[in-house]
Amino acid sequence: MQKRWRILPFDSEQVEELEASSKVSPVVAQLLINRGIHNPEEVSAFLDSKLSGLRPPEALPGVTEAAELIYEAVKSEKKILIYGDYDADGMTASAILYRCLSILQANVTYFAPNRMSDGYGLNADQIRRHHSQGVEFIISVDCGIANAEEIDVAKELGIQVVVTDHHEFADRLPDADAIIHPRLPNTDYPFGGLCGAAVAFKLAWALCQIDSDATRVKPAHRDFLMMAVGIAAIGTVADVVPLQDENRIIVTHGLRALKQRPPTGLAALMKITGLSNKREFDAQDIGFNIGPRLNAAGRLGQAPLGVELLVTDDPRRAQELAEYLDNLNNDRKKIERSINLAAAKQIKEKYNIESDPAFVLAGHGWNAGVIGVVSGRLAEKYGRPVILIALDQMGIKPGIGSARNGGIGNLHEALQHCTEHLMKHGGHAAAAGLTIEESQIDGFRSAFCEYIQESVSDEDRIVEVVIDAEAPLSQLTAQTIVQMQQLGPFGEANPAPVLCASNVEVVKGTAKRMGGGERHLSVKVAQYGTTLRAVAFGQGDWAEELDQVPGQIDVVFKPVINEFRGQRNVELHLEDWRAVSESA
């Protein structure tokens, strides 16, 4: 994979001016400027990230009408169903509304679909089943906006429907009784990046206001909403929406709420993962510890248990669920490793790694719930589109495919070009899904690879590594890293600072594989008398390469503070490296 390193331009006068006017360190000033923040007012708003910066719930399109309908249904004792999605965002959205309606003493239950049997979004058969069990009112969370036909079924059955969602629209809006969506047509909400859990939080907030008969909610409702901010933060990070505007506020305060007042189930899960021992949380703790365990439940057909973990107040049940989800996550990792090994073997045996434009891989018995993670990992590793297709062991059902583009090409356009080979497909430029008959795979592979070859230029195949600044290792003190962390929480659209250092020595004998399946790398690097540990996740293959480098290397990394057994040390998360001879 070809890579190009690009260091962002440095304007010393701008940096000095912002440093003086905002009383921040030079490195923080540079990082703020790189993020488009140039004056003290913007700096203050960005760094403070006050909870009061959240817009009132009634500003979100559809909230007022929906909250009034739901509150009336609660008081009328109608049986209400919260119909969620099977991922972490859907689970957290479901949990927020279930807890809220339970506080209001509603007759409420929830449903989290099975991704294999029920599919994504509302399912007409499930709507009919719940109607037969007395459901009179459905609230969709993190889904529904593209389910016009299924909502028609609900309306024919006499069910009231409120849709809360944040996803893309279909050809027509559903004929729901109310729709909450930050980008609803003919509305002008200023921030369209909310996830499903954040939308659910806004609705819960509005319901608490109605029940309090005031903008300022009752103390019990306030306590619930502060807990709900923590739950919404999980959905926000796990769904990889931009950590800007309201999302940044939700995650900033949600991380504090998770530390100070976690729900019973999350407290049990955080104890198992070791998070309860940390002094404070960051977005990575959600992204690498909490989110994957909830998503593992969804990927392996156990989404209802993820929601139950978030809503239970029984310590014994919370412990059981936390242990079960932790074990599920371990199972998910084993399944992913097995598929990754099989897929990597296919790449080596069937493809030219240097020249083939894309990889289309298929395997009988692959778990369709986890192939997306593996295709993403391989696409990132090889810097080109990768499609994994899970085939039925018996050859009866069609194959389910998951595609990631690795930063190269437009998957939506590519699949549109190959529709003659597909039963159905959907997604966007970077990620997509498809359904295909096994007999069509060879033809699809040829058509897809041909389209990528013709539509992607040589220049587009070069992956650009964007670097905030160059910094010698000696400057990376704990104090400096703490200052950098003021720009967090880091995530989508607010990335962690990326730095580079030149002429670095690899300490001989320290480059080793580590972690489950030896997928990760640990190495020590030195520069002008300063030695630091570096790790690279998913790059265990680098161990042998680094051990054989004859001279110095240049490195790209994210500096972090690693806490282990009470010790806090500066550590580098290695993003890329090259021999100095290659960069000359």
Instruction: Give the tens place of pLDDT for each residue, 69-80.
Output: 999 999 999 999
- The confidence score (pLDDT) of residue 584 equals 53
What's the whole-model pTM score? 0.90
Long-range contacts of 392-398 (CB under 8 A, 24+ apart): 392/364, 393/364, 393/365, 395/364, 395/438, 398/423, 398/435, 398/436, 398/437, 398/438
- The confidence score (pLDDT) of residue 115 equals 86
Do the beta carbons of residue 473 and residue 556 sit within 8 Å? no
- The confidence score (pLDDT) of residue 583 equals 59
Q: DSSP of 129-189, one letter per residue?
A: HHHHTT--EEEEES--TT-HHHHHHHHHTT-EEEEE--S---SS----SEEE-TT-TT---
- The confidence score (pLDDT) of residue 86 equals 94
Q: What radius of gyration do the chain's Cα atoms show? A: 25
- The confidence score (pLDDT) of residue 463 equals 84
Do the beta carbons of residue 513 and residue 540 sit within 8 Å? yes
Q: Which domains does the chain have, with CATH numbers?
A: 57-326 (3.90.1640.30), 351-455 (3.10.310.30), 466-583 (2.40.50.460)
- The confidence score (pLDDT) of residue 565 equals 73
Phi-psi region of 54 (alpha: psi -120 to 50; beta: other; left: phi over 0): beta
- The confidence score (pLDDT) of residue 426 equals 84
Which portions of the chain are predicted below pLDDT 70? 1, 582-584
C-alpha span between 467 and 322 (Å, rounded):
39
Instruction: Give the tens place of pLDDT for each residue, 265-276.
Output: 999 999 999 999
Query: How would you write 382-405 as a 3-class SS string?
Result: HCCCEEEEEECCCCCCCEEEEEEC
C-alpha span between 225 and 242 (Å, rounded):
22
Query: How would you write 40-90 as a 3-class SS string?
Result: HHHHHHHHHCCHHHCCCHHHCCCHHHHHHHHHHHHHCCCEEEEECCCCHHH
